[in-house]
Structure formats: C-alpha cells, structure tokens
Structure 1
C-alpha cells in the first residue's frame, strides 16, 4: 500500500514547514509542498490527513529490557517480556534490547530471539551484547566476533560500574572491553559503543575520564546511561558532555525517586541546555520493562516497579510543555541523536530515502495520533491497529 500524508507540519527533526509526505513500501519516497497522485489502477493509496498534526521521525529507544529484567528481590520479581503494543503505544519504532543484572537466566540467545520476534511483528530491533557483568558473556565468545558476525549486535552493554550490583570491574577490564568494542565497530561499520550502566557509587564515571585521558579511545565510544540518577552524577554528566561525550538520561521513574534526588529527564534536558551542552550530545532512553528497584540505606531491597517505554515521549513532551524546551531540540533526543550516535542508517529523520518510520502528533497537546513502522500503520487515531502474536 502507498500512504500519502497530507498537510502536516514536518519536524525532520528540524522544522521543514507544512508538506506532504509519500511513503512507498518501507521507505519515504517524497517530501514535497504538494503531492497529488490521483487514481492509480490496481494500486491502493491510503491518504492520511495531517492537518493540525506534527509529523516527526519514529522514536528510537536505545535501552529496553525486551526480555524483561529485575530479579533483585528474588525470582518472583523478574519482570515479564515486553509486548509489541507496549512499544508502539509510546511512538517507538526502533528499540535496542539489552540484558541487565541477570545475564544468566536471561541470556544472549534469548535476547536475540526476542529481538527477531519483535522485528517479525513489525518494528525495528537491535541488541547489545553482554550484561552488567565483566567479562561479558557474548553469543560467539568474543565481543568483536559478535559485532562482525551478528547483524543485530551494534554494541556492548549494559555494563555496570559504580553500582553494588556490578561485578566490580577494574580499570583495565573496562579499557580492554572498550578497545574490543571499538575495533569490532570499525570492522563491521557499526557504532561499537559501550552502554555503561551507572549506579550510585562514589567513583561515578571516573573510569571513563581516565580511559579517554590515558588512551586513544574517544569520549564518544561510551554511552553512559542513568546519568540523572542523582544530583552528583548529573553534574558529572554535564562535565562529560561538555568535554565531548554523549550522555543518556533515563525516563522511567517514580515520583519518590525525584523526591530522593533523581533529576527528572525533562528537567535534566533543560538544565543541560542552559549549561551549554550541545543538544546533539544528549539522548533519552526508557529502560523499558526493566525493574525500578528500591533499596534502603543498607542496600536491602524494599520494593519494585517496572519501567515503561511510554515514558520516553512523555518526558520529551514534559520538557516542551513544562520546561519550555524548544520542540525541535526536544524531539532530537529520541530521533536524530540516537540514530547518529548508534549509527542506525536510515533512521531518525524524515527525508527521501529514509525508512518509513514516522509519528503523527496532535498539534495542541502533542498526544500520539498515528504511528507507522516500516511503512505499516501500528497506531491510528490513538488506537492500536497491530497487536503482538500473544496479545
């Protein structure tokens, strides 16, 4: 089916004015002031009214526990696998799956299989190799081999540092892991990025600064996440980003975390921009379907909630509506920025030849109206059109 979106305000993510967008198959075929196809014998053309709508690239969520996560409170606290509509209801058309604390009962083969299943159901998927633990457990037994041999593997992660749940890796462990990821990325034409999980530990991101200062590895080889976890780590995020690195803020949270000092992602974005951090150095990820464990002062588990992919755009919307961040800037942190940082070709922009992953938003309240992934309508007028196999 050919789809023609008429008269939408285009944020590509830069503002392009009111235009028509033609989707043919899984690609954007044209972006023009006016496109009129007329009748095409034997071809179905679906016309979508884009008036009073903003058209943006499909959202990219670069950190999702698609297999589920958790387990910090025992077996009963393992969070369930994610479903297709859990993702698409948040406007997300591309996810990067990862393991977390538990890299044993949830493993790389299962992660790859889940990613392939979600792809078959209609969205774009990639994965990180490894989990919290160092040395990382991979599919082939080697980080570089995973990057070179397995299409869906684009980097390593999430590797935990400065966290009581980490394997307490040494500086040399992280340096060698990052070097392997870098070379594997170079040889495979992928990002080869190392997604670093940051906990509340006092060392914060000292390892990353030390590696950049004492080796030839650049800041951009890392993507440290959860950098809004506490005020001290957030200040380090600003320092790291201004020095040339990329920083990622987690959108899944609960109000009690904000009360305890976590910097809400929408506020983190505003404060970074005010501090002079280039917008291109900032991303949001949801930590979707991961656990949100709570611990007391003795590091004892006290409770658990589950991260939501839908929080991703909610925090972007909050940044615009409550923090007065320009929409064009805010939308970049879940579209063009992750596409560039993770080297996801054809993603993150509305342009001829790019993938037909787009989202229509209501102009008044920025609610999600329509989600199209790989040229297929997943959400239409706010209603789910495509469910996962077991939904």
Structure 2
C-alpha cells in the first residue's frame, strides 16, 4: 500500500488533548502540517481527503508497558505468550509502544526485545524499549543499564523491575537505588528519560521501599514509574500518596476484576479516586501491560491459570472514565497521550500540534474505534486493520 504524502482529515472534534472543537488536519508525510478549521488540500499535489464528521480525534495512544516479545512462562514453557502482531497494536488505538521484559529474562533476551522494537518501527508504528527484566542484577546488552541507555537509541530506561513480588530477586533498597542512579545518569548523558519502570506486586511491602529510597537518597520520585498501582485497594491508597508527593502513578488497564484480578480496582474507578483525592492530572498515566501473561496464583503462590492481557483495554477504560466516571475527556485522554510523552521525553508525541508526528486515534461519539494513523499512515479504517505486519496471515 502506497502512503499518500498529503492527507486532509476533515470535520473531527479534536482533543489535542485539550478540546479544540471542530478542526481540519493536514498531514504532510509523517508530520502534522496544519491544524485549522479552514485547512484545505494543496492545489498542486495529490491529496487524500477523509471525512471525519461526527468523530472524535485524539493523539495516538502511547502504551508505556507492553510485552512485545511475549511474556509469562510462570506456568511452564507452554505458558510463554507469543510476540505481539502489528494489527493487535493498531486496532487498540495505540501508535507508540514501549517494550519490556518481565519475569523471564532468561529465555527472552534484551537483544531479542531490541530486534522486535526495530521491527515494529519498520512496520509503521513508533517503538521504544526498556533494558532489563524483573531481576537484579538485571540483564542488559552492553553490560550496564547506564551504557545501554546512552549507546542504544531505542532504549529510554530500564524495566520492568519487580518489587514487592514473590517473583522478584528480593533485592535490597541499596540495589534498587544503584539501578536508579545508573538509569538517571544514563538518561542525563543521552537526553533521554532514564526512567525506572517498576512492576509492583501484591506483596505486603507495597511502595514502602520506593518511599524509603526517595527519602534517603538524591533520587527523585519522578525517576520511577510504579505500575499496576490498581492491583489492590491498599496499593492504590499508597499510589495516591506517592503521586500527591510528586511521583507518577501508572494504572494498568489490563488489571481489573473483569480480567480475573479479583482484588483489583477497575482502572477507570482508580483514576477517578486519584483525582478526587487531589492527585494532579499530570501525575497519572495508564498503560496496558499488553501481551503479558495474566497469571493467577493460589494462596501459596502456585500458578493455577494464565491469560493474555489485551491493549484494547486502554480504549475501553478511557471510554469508561468519560462515559461512566464523568472524567472530563481532555483529562482522561492525557493519561495515555501527553502525560506519557512528557514523562518519557518523547518530544514529538502525545499532542495534536503542528510539526508533531501524525499519530491519531479516531473514535465515534460512543468511543468505538474508527481510524488510526501512525506516522502519517492510515493503519485502521472503520475499526479494521488495513496495514499488517510482515508475517500476519492477512498481510497485504
């Protein structure tokens, strides 16, 4: 499929994420050339025109926690989830992913993760990654987290590092602190985020070690993204406290009672509670944990079942935030767009703005997915993928 250089999107209500009302958007190549109610197609060049009347257009979703090479394995080799497909990502409204490893940093490698990251970029979306996995010392490519972040363009931080979980390496506060220092300096020297993406489990210690680390070192709370913060009531309370003190709380859209996590707080409700308790809108993000396994454990920690998390939960929870919880659309949309872009230092992402990347998620008034553009390419039309990954069954 040949991508037209110019595309004019007409008549959508634009949340940039602020509400801009009805706008036309001109795409030139992979960038936004104009956002204006009167923007028109160039007269001397071919231009595809798409009517988006009665639609809502948002920045493409940025999913900061995705197991792009697969996850799981806690139930044995047969429970390792497969690599994610391009169309699974785009039909979730996602145009940018950050890949990570999880429990298994042995049979899945950071080099494999880098190769998949580059592959997704070649197939048409934007992709980045974290170096490392659950354990400490954590696996890397160059031998250190700091060097990986500095030298390898796609690596923007480290993660997902396990804390308060029976699957972690049970490291000390000092070991976590040393890792965060490596990531911080690596980010500074390479103008990257240097984020530490933290998997927070169901353990009784919750966020206590993160509070201790940031209270007794020079590492700021902003260096960490504790995720799965809605996995139980107590952790959500701690996450709200953390965010009110300046940290980021990352809600996981794929962790909910409906998905089998019976102790979890529904993501849309977790967001509402955070806002009602005084958390600044800029300190809340949401990711999917997409394509990771959803292991179910008994009281002694034995695996009794496993599922696969879907990125489609992100749009579902944004819809529920707006429709059910009555969170303002321009606030809810920030959680998966501009907030994430700012924290991860993705300077051309997360806003509908001239010169930014032409990444858009378009829904109808009921927030059902209609269209997706990634880097100026039309990836999803009328809710169906029209661009496929190299080895997908329906590849064009």
Does 1:6 find its partner at 2:10? yes
Give the structure 2 partner of residue 177 of structure 1.
179
Per-residue deviation, 1:44: 2.0
Give the corresponding residue for 1:276. Answer: 278
1:33, distance to aligned residue in structure 2 (A): 2.0
Q: Distance in 1 between matches of 2:43 and 2:194?
A: 47
Name the SS of the counterpart of 2:335 in structure 1: helix
Give the Cα separation in 1 of the matches to 2:41 and 2:92: 31
The Cα shift of 1:127 comes to 0.3
**Residue 57 of structure 1 contacts residue 335 of structure 1 at CA under 8 Å; is this kept in 2?**
yes
Seen in structure 2, the aligned counterparts of structure 1 residues 305 and 259 have a Cα distance that, compared at 3 Å, is closer
- Segment drifting more, 255-264 vs 288-297: 255-264
* Counterparts of 1:240 and 1:218, CA distance in 2: 12
Match of 2:134 among 132, 135, 146: 132
Q: Does 1:21 align with 2:25?
A: yes
* CA drift at 1:39: 3.3
Residue-by-residue CA offset, 1:323-343 (whole Å, 9 max, x unaligned): 111111111100001000111
| 1:372 aligns to 2:373 (yes or no) | yes
Query: Which secondary structure state, in structure 2, belongs to the residue aligned with residue 334 of structure 1?
Result: coil
Give the conservation status (yes or no) of the 8 Å contact 1:91–1:368: yes
Contact 1:283 1:334 in 2 (8 A): yes
2:335 paired with 1:328: no
User: Residues of 1 paired with 2:258 and 2:36: CA distance?
Assistant: 47
Query: Is the contact made by 1:360 and 1:369 (CA closer than 8 Å) also made in structure 2?
Result: yes
**Unmatched tracts of structure 2, length 5 or more:** none
Relative to 1, partners in 2 of residues 1:74 and 1:6: Cα closer, same or farther, differing over 3 Å?
same
Q: CA deviation digits over 1:183-232, x for unaligned, max 9?
A: 00000000001000000111111111111111111110000000111111
Q: Distance in 2 between matches of 1:17 and 1:216?
A: 44
Relative to structure 1, is the Cα distance of residues 371 and 213 closer, same or farther in structure 2, using a 3 angstrom cutoff?
Answer: same
The answer to whether the 8 A contact 1:195-1:225 is kept is: yes
State yes or no: 1:387 paired with 2:388: yes
In structure 2, C-alpha distance between the alignment counterparts of 1:256 and 1:126, rounded to whole Å: 29
Secondary structure in 2 aligned to 1:63? strand
Judge conservation of contact 1:258–1:264 (CA < 8 Å) in 2.
no
TM (norm. structure 2) is 0.96
Q: TM-score, normalised by structure 1?
A: 0.97
Alignment of 1:36 with 2:21, yes or no, is: no
Kindly provide the CA deviation profile for residues 122-174 of structure 1, in whole angstroms up to 9, marking residues without a partner as x: 10000000000001111100111111110000000000010000000101000
Residue in 2 that maps onto 1:248:
250
Cα drift, residue 36 of structure 1: 2.3
Q: Is the 8 A contact 1:20 1:31 kept in 2?
A: yes
Residue 130 of structure 1 contacts residue 157 of structure 1 at CA under 8 Å; is this kept in 2?
A: yes
Tell me how far 1:16 sits from its aligned partner. Answer: 1.1
Could you say what secondary structure the match of 2:162 adopts?
strand
Count of residues paired in the alignment: 388
Separation in 2, partners of 1:386, 1:15: 29
Where structure 1 has 5 or more consecutive residues not aligned to the other structure, the ranges are none
Residues 333-364 of structure 1, C-alpha deviation per residue, up to 9 Å, x if partnerless? 000010001111100000001001011111x2
- The CA RMSD over aligned residues, in Å, is 1.1
Corresponding residue for residue 304 of structure 1: 306
Shift of the alpha carbon at 1:256? 5.6
Q: CA 1:96–1:79 in 2, change beyond 3 Å: closer, same or farther?
A: same
1:38: how far off? 5.4
